[in-house]
Amino acid sequence: MLFHVRIGLVVHGIAMLLLSAVAAIGQPAPAWHSIVTKNFTLIGDTAESDLRSEAARIETFRKAFGRLYPGTKLGNSKPTTIVLFNDAASFNAMLPKRPDGSADDGVTGYFLAGDRQNYIALALDQRHHRSPVVHEFIHLVLDANFGTASLPPWLNEGLAEYFDATETANDGTLAIGGEERGHLQLLRRVGLIPVTEIAATSADALRAMSAQRRQQFYAESWLLVRQLVADNRLKIESLSTNLEILKTGGDKLTAAFGEDATAIQTALTRSLAERSLRFATTSVAASADPLPATTALPMGRASAVLGDLLFEIGEADRAETFLSEALAADKNEPMANAVYGKLLVAKNKLPEARACLKTAIDAGSTDHWVYFDYAFAISREFISGGAIGDISDSASSEMLRALRRSIELEPGLVESYHLAALVELARDRDLDEATTFARRAVEINPDDADLKLLLAQILLRRDDAKAARELAGQVAALPDARGKAEADEIIKTAD
């Protein structure tokens, strides 16, 4: 799971008092609406006009970005849902946690690459009636093209801030790389962090920073990226050539960009002293496809999405509250049943989990994880000593039907092949199919020792001792192999 946030100045204490006051006087819950564009699903408790404005803004930017960088992937294989909250108060319940367990109350938006889908969650800035949606979209693009873990935080956040400063020019084109006056004012007031410190900051260190220090980090990262782009030292389309160098820290800035940290620091200081930044923006033609109409979103569905979002960021208890609300509003809500089923599996409440997941399947779910989770929930009832034991014919048939459907929906999900091979091995009836499942799992993830040992066990059961010994030997030869004892036992049996 990849997770990136955008910070801003938000007075959450006052906002939550207002929210509590509204609840106390019995005001109705906010209405939720949705709009499904060509590339995104947007939902929100904000005005429909704001939802449409944000939809048009992100689709226009996405199209312009693709025109500016035609070789860049604009997303991954998963759908993206954008959740837009009307204000900081309503967004507060979705806040991620800081390393110390407290709510990260400086966050105004974040991007999350979840198991099932991508999420962008953000609060509307009431002063400007816009959100940091472009910032979070850039995190999605960077993740799809480079893997966000490969990017140092200053570059990841600096690029997101650089593109978030995009404005619409008088002629309708987008002006990319404009001034972010708030960042300039902040840096002129508090000064610059040493560039070597900026470049050496890790993702964990960034998350642990105070909101004020993080704002300074974001502002300087924006200025640094803007400087490098303006000096033609940083190009998005060839970014991957610099990443291995940059990952090692600030002392590699010279090798990555041909200019040492001292010179970069001097250039940033000079830029701050100027009344107006000298860099020119990049203009690109802007257009977007016509938007469909917004539709009312049932509260059951809205609560299901919020529950899923919280479950993805690891907040299972808060997620359960929203999922329970969703099922109270509509007991057959497919998404709520799917997510709640997975949550219940994690809590080892297997009968309840199976019921929820079966409801989602009966509703025609096309989520491959739902079918895997359903099979996994059944398998847990037959696990003894860490392995699947005496499994009934009806249970094994039910599991295999679900796993074949999961594989049909997502042929690359190694977990489905793995569990299917385990089921076939446990019932010892179709070892040919068990071998096929296990081989496919190894093909997808050839470095997984557990998968190799599973295939070796199946081959040994089929009296193919030579092939089983070869696979077990590969595992036994690995340094610090977890399954070395099992591998040695397979080799001994094969011999």
Taking the C-alpha atoms of residue 420 and residue 352, their distance in angstroms, rounded to an integer, is 22
Q: What is residue 491's predicted lDDT score, i.e. its pLDDT?
A: 83
User: Confidence class of residue 401 from pLDDT cuts 50, 70 and 90?
Assistant: very high
Is the Cα torsion angle 305, 310, 313, 316 positive or negative in sign? negative
The residue ranking higher by pLDDT, 417 or 166, is 417
pLDDT exceeds cutoff 70 at 300: yes
User: Confidence class of residue 360 from pLDDT cuts 50, 70 and 90?
Assistant: very high
pLDDT exceeds cutoff 70 at 238: no
User: Confidence class of residue 307 from pLDDT cuts 50, 70 and 90?
Assistant: very high
Class of residue 149 by CB neighbours under 10 A (exposed 0-12, middle 13-18, buried 19+)? exposed
Q: What is residue 89's predicted lDDT score, i.e. its pLDDT?
A: 79
pLDDT exceeds cutoff 90 at 474: no
Distance of CA 392 to the CA centre of its chain: 38
Angle between helix 368-379 and 414-427 (nearest 10): 30
Would you say 337 and 357 are in contact if contact means Cβ atoms under 8 Å apart? yes
- Find the range with the poorest average confidence among 66-75, 410-419, 482-491: 482-491
Q: What is residue 297's predicted lDDT score, i.e. its pLDDT?
A: 93
Mean pLDDT for 171-199 is 86
Would you say 136 and 109 are in contact if contact means Cβ atoms under 8 Å apart? yes
- DSSP for 56-120? HHHHHHHHHHHHHSTTS----SS-EEEEEESSHHHHGGGPPBPTTSSB-TTEEEEEEE-SS-EEE
Token couple for 81: 């849902």
Taking the C-alpha atoms of residue 185 and residue 200, their distance in angstroms, rounded to an integer, is 24
Taking the C-alpha atoms of residue 460 and residue 465, their distance in angstroms, rounded to an integer, is 5
Q: What is residue 388's predicted lDDT score, i.e. its pLDDT?
A: 72
pLDDT exceeds cutoff 70 at 384: no
pLDDT, tens digit, 9 for 90 and up, residues 120-176: 999 887 666 678 899 999 999 998 888 777 788 898 999 999 999 888 877 778 888
Q: What is residue 241's predicted lDDT score, i.e. its pLDDT?
A: 58
Q: What is residue 14's predicted lDDT score, i.e. its pLDDT?
A: 28
User: Confidence class of residue 216 from pLDDT cuts 50, 70 and 90?
Assistant: very high
Token couple for 300: 């059951």
Out of 81-85, 104-108, 148-152, the most confident range is 81-85
Taking the C-alpha atoms of residue 183 and residue 349, their distance in angstroms, rounded to an integer, is 49
Q: What torsion do the CA atoms of 225, 230, 232, 238 make, to the nearest 10 degrees?
A: 40
Out of 21-25, 106-110, 147-151, 387-391, the most confident range is 106-110
Taking the C-alpha atoms of residue 370 and residue 360, their distance in angstroms, rounded to an integer, is 7
User: Confidence class of residue 437 from pLDDT cuts 50, 70 and 90?
Assistant: very high
Q: What is residue 12's predicted lDDT score, i.e. its pLDDT?
A: 32
